[in-house]
Structure 1
Amino acid sequence: MPLQSNCQSKTAEDSAGVMKLEKNGKMFSTTATLDDAMLATGFGTYNILHMLLSGLILMGVIMQSLAMGYILPAAQCDLELTLQQRGWLSATPFLAIILTSYVWGWLADTQGRRFVMLFSMTISSLFAVLASFSPEIISFATLSFISAVFMSGPTSVVYTYLGEFTNVQHRDKIVAFGSSFVGIGTVALPAVSWLILPLEISIPIDFLHITYRSWRLLVIAANLPLAIGFVLLLFAPESPKFLHACGKQEACLKVLRDMYAVNKRLHRDTYPIKSLLNEAETVKAMENRGIVAVLKSMQDQTAPLFKPPLLKWTFLVCFIQFGLFGTTNGFYVWFPSILNSLINHEGPAARLCDILDAERTLPANGTDVVCDDTINSATFELSIYIGLVFCSMYIIVGFIVDIVGKKSILITILTITGLCGFGAHLAPTQQIAVVLFAVFQMCGACIGLTNAVTVELFPTKYRAMAVCLSMMMGRVGSMTGSNLIGVFLSTNCGLSFYLFGGLIVACALLCFTLPGKRRSPAQLTKSNPTRNQTHEPA
Structure 2
Amino acid sequence: MGGEAPSYTVDEALVALGFGNFQILVLAYAGMGWVSEAMEMMLLSFVGPAVQSTWGLSSNEESLITSVVFAGMLVGAYSWGIVSDTHGRRKGFIITATVTSAAGFLSAFSPNYISLIILRCLVGIGLGGGPVLSSWFLEFIPAPSRGTWMVVFSAFWTLGTILEASLAWFVMPRLGWRWLLALSSLPSALLLLFYRVTPESPRYLCLKGRTSDAISVLEKIARMNGTKLPSGILVSDHQIELQEKSIPSEDTHLLSPGRTENVTPKQIDSNIAGISSLLVLLSPKLMRSTLLLWVVFFGNAFSYYGLVLLTSELNNGRRRCMQTNLQSEKSQDVNYRDVFIASFAEFPGLLISAVTVDKLGRKFSMSAMFFLCCIFLLPLVFHQPEGLTTGLLFGARICITATFTIVYIYAPEIYPTSVRTTGVGVASSMGRIGGIICPLVAVGLVQGCHETASIVLFEIVIFLSGICVVLFPFETKGRELSDSVSS
TM-score (norm 2): 0.85
RMSD: 3.2
Q: Aligned runs of 1:100-119 on 2, under 5 Å?
A: 100-119=76-95
CA distance in 2, matches of 1:472, 1:121: 18
SS at match of 1:287: coil
Q: What is residue 494 of structure 1 aligned with on the other side?
A: 452
More deviation in 498-507 or 155-164?
498-507
Q: Aligned runs of 1:128-527 on 2, under 5 Å?
A: 128-153=104-129, 155-199=130-174, 214-263=176-225, 265-266=226-227, 270-280=228-238, 283=255, 285=257, 287-288=260-261, 297-340=273-316, 359=322, 361=324, 379-425=335-381, 434-441=390-397, 442-489=399-446, 490=448, 492-514=450-472
More deviation in 510-519 or 465-474?
510-519
Any unmatched runs of 5+ in structure 2?
A: 242-251, 263-267
The structural deviation recorded for 1:387 is: 1.0
SS at match of 1:307: coil
CA distance in 1, matches of 2:478, 2:61: 54
- Do the aligned residues in 2 keep the contact of 1:458 with 1:537 (CA within 8 Å)? no
- Identity over aligned pairs, percent: 20
- Do the aligned residues in 2 keep the contact of 1:77 with 1:371 (CA within 8 Å)? no
Question: Structure 1 residues 284, 457: CA separation in 2 closer, same or farther (over 3 Å shift)?
Answer: farther
The structural deviation recorded for 1:189 is: 0.6
SS at match of 1:402: coil
The structural deviation recorded for 1:519 is: 7.8
CA distance in 2, matches of 1:18, 1:411: 45
TM-score (norm 1): 0.77
The structural deviation recorded for 1:479 is: 2.1
- Do the aligned residues in 2 keep the contact of 1:253 with 1:275 (CA within 8 Å)? no
- Would you say 1:87 and 2:63 are equivalent positions? yes
Q: Which amino acid aligns with 2:65?
A: L
More deviation in 407-416 or 484-493?
484-493
Any unmatched runs of 5+ in structure 1?
A: 1-13, 20-30, 201-213, 345-355, 525-531
1:462-515 deviations in Å (ceiling 9; x for gaps): 111111111111111122233222354446543433332233222222222335
CA distance in 2, matches of 1:238, 1:427: 53
The structural deviation recorded for 1:38 is: 1.3
Question: Structure 1 residues 245, 413: CA separation in 2 closer, same or farther (over 3 Å shift)?
Answer: same
Of Structure 1 and Structure 2, which has the larger fraction of its residues in helix? 2
SS at match of 2:143: coil
Aligned residues: 464
1:292-313 deviations in Å (ceiling 9; x for gaps): x999632221111112110001
The structural deviation recorded for 1:180 is: 1.8
Q: Which amino acid aligns with 1:387?
A: S
CA distance in 2, matches of 1:272, 1:74: 58
The structural deviation recorded for 1:236 is: 1.3
- Do the aligned residues in 2 keep the contact of 1:187 with 1:388 (CA within 8 Å)? yes
Q: Which amino acid aligns with 1:450?
A: V
Question: Structure 1 residues 430, 417: CA separation in 2 closer, same or farther (over 3 Å shift)?
Answer: same
CA distance in 2, matches of 1:426, 1:132: 39
The structural deviation recorded for 1:240 is: 1.6
